[in-house]
Structure 1
Amino acid sequence: MKIVRSKILGEVTQDARFDDWWNSKPIRIPLIGAELNVVFMDFEPEQDESFIEEADSALSNFLKLGDDYKNQISGLIYDHFRDFCSMVGEEDIPDEMKGIDKSEIWKFISPSQIIITRRPYNEPDIFINMTCECKWEKEHGLQLVFKKGKALTRVSDQDGHLTKADAYNIPDSEDELLAKFEE
């Protein structure tokens, strides 16, 4: 079993099933006030020597996000929930979620893990993907994606894409949240 070292996570161990996945022990995530495992995904140490350093930088940024930021992004997650509601029948909306406002949305989200990976298209930045279960979309869940760990740049179901631009094959400039990202 191979091990790599992260300044923030300590030992990160190669996954037994997938050679390019590396697992950490759980760490506390201030944004949600809970501990989650971190997975380096699509990482091959011999091929990407700067990955761990960039992942540590992104993780350092991400771990600075707390309650204030959580409140700032609640509206974006609520909007995602409302979009879901507009596409399904009234009977598919959980009763306890009918009539909620954005300040209540986090009650219906259960973060499950943190995935740190490099964007495979366009600019190869590091993104942090917090995958979540959510009350309103049990089949596809929810993903909250943070570019370089600094800012939320995607709210969607878990579709395997880090950006809306990649998911819909549109220019980054047409991806509203990604286009707003500032260093």
Structure 2
Amino acid sequence: MSKEIISKTIGSLKQDESFSDWWKSAEIEIPLMNKEKLAITFMDFEPEHDTTFVEEADQALENFLRLTIDDRNSISEFAYKNCMDFLEAVGYDEDDEPLWEIQNHDKIWNFVQPTEIYISRRHRRDKDIYVQIVCECDWEQEHGLQLVFRQGKQLTRISSQDGHITEADAYDKPDSEDELLSKFI
């Protein structure tokens, strides 16, 4: 039998039938992603073991839902760099020509398709709440792209989808050596 939790920010989330610690919302408009509608999933959340999660997730979501296209454009350089680093690593393919021809880095978003948003608590160090936008992208069909925002406020990671929400966790290095995370205000 399915359970439900209530977020003051996004409403009802239903417990996933396959993963009991996943809770999924209906699709909502995401201003940062040009008002595309995406479901939001609270991950690794067991209500009986983390009594502050929903409140903290709601605050992170409120921060995140205030982000606009202008905020997205302010991080275009990071998405563009991710694309170019990947293309340079795999070598030239004529199918990628539209990506190579990008002049205005804000145009990189024409090649990114967001699919879902995950909210989770980092299980080490800061134990903070992170908002992760999972995307498909035209340059990395196998691993896609993820954008991660600590407390829903500012970008703290952009990478392929690798199961980690920080560079520090992915490469087992101190948070102070994580370029974006260390700049979190």
TM-score range, shorter chain: over 0.9
Deviations 1:7-52 (A, max 9, x none): 0111111000000000000111000121100000000000000000
User: Structure 2 residue aligned with 1:71, among 44, 59, 73?
Assistant: 73
- Partner amino acid, structure 2, of 1:176: E
SS for the counterpart of 1:35 is strand
- State the aligned residue count: 182
User: Structure 1 residue aligned with 2:179, among 170, 176, 179?
Assistant: 176
- RMSD over aligned Cα atoms: 1.0
- Partner amino acid, structure 2, of 1:64: R
Unmatched segments (≥5 aa) in structure 2 = none
Task: Provide the C-alpha distance between the structure 1 equivalents of 2:179 and 2:98, rounded to a whole number of angstroms.
Answer: 30
SS for the counterpart of 1:158 is coil
Task: Provide the C-alpha distance between the structure 1 equivalents of 2:157 and 2:89, rounded to a whole number of angstroms.
Answer: 19
- Partner amino acid, structure 2, of 1:164: E
Q: Which runs of 4+ in 1 moved over 3 A?
A: none
- Partner amino acid, structure 1, of 2:108: I
Deviation (angstroms), 1:68 = 1.3
Mapping 1:26-45, distance limit 5 Å: 26-32=27-33, 33-45=35-47
Task: Provide the C-alpha distance between the structure 1 equivalents of 2:168 and 2:95, rounded to a whole number of angstroms.
Answer: 28
Deviations 1:51-70 (A, max 9, x none): 00000000000000002101
- Partner amino acid, structure 1, of 2:163: G
SS for the counterpart of 1:90 is coil
Task: Provide the C-alpha distance between the structure 2 equivalents of 1:164 and 1:146, rounded to a whole number of angstroms.
Answer: 12
1:141 equivalent in alignment to 2:120: no
Unmatched segments (≥5 aa) in structure 1 = none
Deviation (angstroms), 1:169 = 0.2
Is the Cα–Cα contact under 8 Å of residues 165 and 172 in structure 1 kept in the other structure?
yes
Q: Using the TM superposition, name which of 83-92 and 34-43 deviates more.
A: 83-92
- Partner amino acid, structure 2, of 1:70: R
Mapping 1:1-183, distance limit 5 Å: 1-32=2-33, 33-91=35-93, 94-101=96-103, 102-182=105-185
Deviation (angstroms), 1:95 = 2.3
Deviations 1:49-103 (A, max 9, x none): 0000000000000000002101100011111111112211102761221221312
